[in-house]
Amino acid sequence: MRIGISCYPTWGGSGIVATELAMALAAGGDEVHVVSYAQPSRLELVDPNLSYHEVVVPHYPLFDYPPYSLALATKLVEVARHNRLDLVHVHYAVPNAVSAVLARQILAPQPLKVVTTLHGTDITLVGNDPNYLETTRWGISQSDAVTAVSEALRKSTIERIGVENRIDVVPNFIDPRRFERVRGNQGAQRWARDGERILLHISNFRPVKRVLDVVRVFERVRERIPCRLLLVGDGPERAQIERYCRECDTCDAITFVGNLPVVEEILVGADLFLLPSETESFGLAALEALSCEVPVIATRVGGLPEVVVDGENGFLRDVGDVEAMAEAAISLLENEERRREFGESGRRRALELFSEAKVVASYREIYQRVLAG
C-alpha cells in the first residue's frame, strides 16, 4: 500500500503513535509518507520505504492566524498526487480530518481514502468546543474509517460530537524491542541518592495532566519514605510547578529532566509512575511505564482503566484525591515483593494486548477494508 500519515510532530502521544506506526508499516513493506509541519521527534528516516514531507505555512502580514489547515490540505494533495497514495491516515481530528477530506475532494477523480484516528483532546477538549464542533463532526463523518484509541474515547465521541459512523477501537501500542533493549539497565536509579526510591511522571505539562497533584502526592510519600521525583517533559505549567517547588522547599528532591526522546531509558528502574490526569483517553506514558515493569498510580478516568488494572499493575483513584494516591503509592513502596509482581504483571499486559505487531495488523485490516470499498 502507499500510505500518507499526517500528525502533530510534538512530544505528545498522538505524534508518537503516528510515527511509530509509520515506521512499522514501512518496515513491513508499505510505502509511507509522513506529512507534518516539522519532523516528528521520533521519526527516524532510515528506511527506503519512508519519507517525510514538510507542510510550510507562509506568513503574510494580513494573517494574524496563518491557515495551517489549508497548507496541510495542499500538501496532502501534492503528496497523494505525485506518489499515487491509496490512503491518508490522519492522527488527531482537528484540523487534520478536515484537511484530508478536502484533499480527497480536490484530488477527485483520483481516489484517496481517509482514515482518521481520534486521540483524546481532539474530542474531549478541542473538538467539542463550539468553535470547532461543526467542522470536527464533519471531518469525522466524512472519513472512510474512524478509529479511537480506547473504548472510552469511542463512547465520548458519540456522546460529545454526535457522530453516527462506525468507530473501531484500535489501542495505542509499544514496540517491545525498545523495552527489551533497556531491560535490567540502571535507568532512573542513576538519579537516586542514598537509597532513595524514584517516583516518575512524564507529560506535556498541560493543565489536564494536573502536575501539581504529582508533586503533592510526592510530598506525602516523602514524609514516610526517602524518595526523589523525576518530572520528564515540558509545557505551559512547568514554570508554575517549579515556582511551587521552590516555595515549598522540595526543589532538592525533585528533578526537572525536560523532554526525552527515548523515555524507556529513564522509565526503566523507576519504582512508581504517577499520572493523576483530569482526563486521559488512553495514557500512552502509562503503557510505556508498564512496559518497563513500573507500576502506575493514576486516576480512574477515560481510557486509563483499559490500560492500568486497579490492584493488578497499579492503582486507580479519583481525580484530585491526592491522599488516596499517596496511600496507594506508599503501600507499594513498603512491599517490594508486591511492587515487583505489579511490575511484571504490567509488562505481561503490555505485551499481550498492546504490542506493535498486533495493533499494526489491526490498522492494516482497516486500510484493506476501506480500499475494498
Q: Are 298 and 308 in contact (CB under 8 A)?
A: yes
169/225 with CB nearer ligand GMT? 169
Binding mask 232-251 for ligand GMT (x = CB under 6 A): --------------------
Among 282, 315, 342, 367, indicate the residue that binds ligand GMT (CB under 6 A): 282
Main-chain dihedrals φ then ψ at residue 292, nearest 5 degrees: -95, 15
Main-chain dihedrals φ then ψ at residue 295, nearest 5 degrees: -65, 150
Residue span binding ligand GMT (CB under 6 A) among the ranges 71-79, 155-163, 277-285, 361-369? 277-285
- Least separation in angstroms between residue 213's CB and ligand GMT is 14
Binding mask 111-150 for ligand GMT (x = CB under 6 A): --------xxx---------------------------x-
218/282 with CB nearer ligand GMT? 282
Q: Are 296 and 289 in contact (CB under 8 A)?
A: yes
Q: What is the dihedral of CA 313, 286, 200, 293, to 10 degrees?
A: 40
161/192 with CB nearer ligand GMT? 161
Q: How many chain residues touch ligand GMT (CB under 6 A)?
A: 19
Contacts to ligand GMT from residues 195-214, by CB under 6 A: 204, 208
Q: Does 280 bind ligand GMT (CB under 6 A)?
A: yes
Residue 188 DSSP SS3: helix
Q: What is the 8-class DSSP label of residue 313?
A: T
Surface-to-core class of residue 254, CB atoms within 10 Å of its CB (0-12 exposed, 13-18 middle, 19+ buried)? buried
- Rg of the chain over all Cα atoms, to the nearest angstrom: 21
Main-chain dihedrals φ then ψ at residue 164, nearest 5 degrees: -115, 0
Q: Which residues contact 84 (CB under 8 A, 6 or more apart)?
A: 2, 110
Q: Does 345 bind ligand GMT (CB under 6 A)?
A: no
Residue span binding ligand GMT (CB under 6 A) among the ranges 6-14, 160-168, 218-226, 311-319? 6-14
Residue 32 DSSP SS3: strand
Q: Does 279 bind ligand GMT (CB under 6 A)?
A: yes
- Least separation in angstroms between residue 117's CB and ligand GMT is 8
For residue 303, give the C-alpha cell: 481510557
Q: Are 168 and 366 in contact (CB under 8 A)?
A: yes
Among 140, 284, 326, 366, indicate the residue that binds ligand GMT (CB under 6 A): 284
114/174 with CB nearer ligand GMT? 174
Residue span binding ligand GMT (CB under 6 A) among the ranges 40-48, 80-88, 259-267, 282-290? 282-290
187/283 with CB nearer ligand GMT? 283
Binding mask 307-336 for ligand GMT (x = CB under 6 A): ------------------------------
Surface-to-core class of residue 48, CB atoms within 10 Å of its CB (0-12 exposed, 13-18 middle, 19+ buried)? exposed
Q: Are 301 and 277 in contact (CB under 8 A)?
A: yes
Interatomic CA distance for residues 211 and 141, integer angstroms:
35
Binding mask 159-188 for ligand GMT (x = CB under 6 A): -------------x----------------
- Least separation in angstroms between residue 171's CB and ligand GMT is 9
Binding mask 17-56 for ligand GMT (x = CB under 6 A): x---------------------------------------
Cis, peptide link before residue 176, omega less than 30° from 0: no
6/204 with CB nearer ligand GMT? 204
Interatomic CA distance for residues 350 and 306, integer angstroms:
11
Q: Which amino acid is at 132?
A: Y
92/315 with CB nearer ligand GMT? 92
Q: Which residues contact 315 (CB under 8 A, 6 or more apart)?
A: 295, 296, 297, 298, 308, 325, 328, 329, 332
Residues that bind ligand GMT (CB under 6 A): 8, 12-15, 17, 119-121, 149, 172, 204, 208, 279-284
